[in-house]
Amino acid sequence: MFIGITQRLTEEKKYKELRETLALEWGDLFSNSILFKDFIPLALSYGIDFNHYTPYLKAVILSGGNDLSAFSDDILSKKRDAYEMKIIEYCLKTDTPLLGICRGAQMIAYYFNSTLEKLSHHIGDHQVILNDGSSFICNSFHNYAIINLGRNLEILARAKDQSIEAFKHKDKSIFGLMWHIERKNGLNNTKILNEWLKLVKEKK
């Protein structure tokens, strides 16, 4: 079963070319974590219409990297936003499980008219507090944080400064995590991730 993953867009100035890149940690995660033993990652290319991938996908992950175009004039951010917007709309229409990681979570939150702000102290080890009051340490690599959620989204976890670290859609199989599950300390707590993966496995 394939899980599609969007990629970071970069410009290689030496060779004057644009590149799609996916961190090697994603391969390690799918190879070594029992959570993903039933799945194979499929890197999505921006040069291929997303509809060509859909017959093969069990779920989709919007990965990290790049700022949202709302906070950057970078043409690569705009290109990525447009592609991921189509993915979100497809997942909403078909109830295909969708998981946003860091930048991906911001993209989903932005799509649903949430409020994002630039905040400091969100780089490095980070304490996350779940709704049940339990907490854990995870990684954190973002400068923009989610402050308020738009309609149809509900909070699953917060940071100490009350910014939103995890959320889900009230009716669809759509989740967002602000930490990187593929990096060190990304699986220190898998409660929310397991909830999403259960929906993936249940999808026909």
Known catalytic residues?
102, 180, 182
Q: Which ranges in the chain belong to alpha helices (H)?
A: 24-32, 75-94, 103-111, 191-202
Q: Residue 174 and residue 59: Cα distance in Å, rounded?
A: 10
d(CA 174, CA 196): 8
Q: Cα dihedral sign for 4, 168, 102, 104?
A: positive
Distance, in Å, from the CA atom of 174 to the CA atom of 153, rounded to the nearest integer, reads 9
Burial of 48 (0-12, 13-18, 19+ CB in 10 A): exposed
| β-sheet bridge partners, residue 169 | 153
Instruction: Tell me the residue length of the chain.
Output: 204
Distances (CA, A) of 128 to 86, 115, 125, 135, 136: 30, 19, 10, 5, 6
For residues 109 and 116, the answer to whether their CB atoms sit within 8 Å is yes
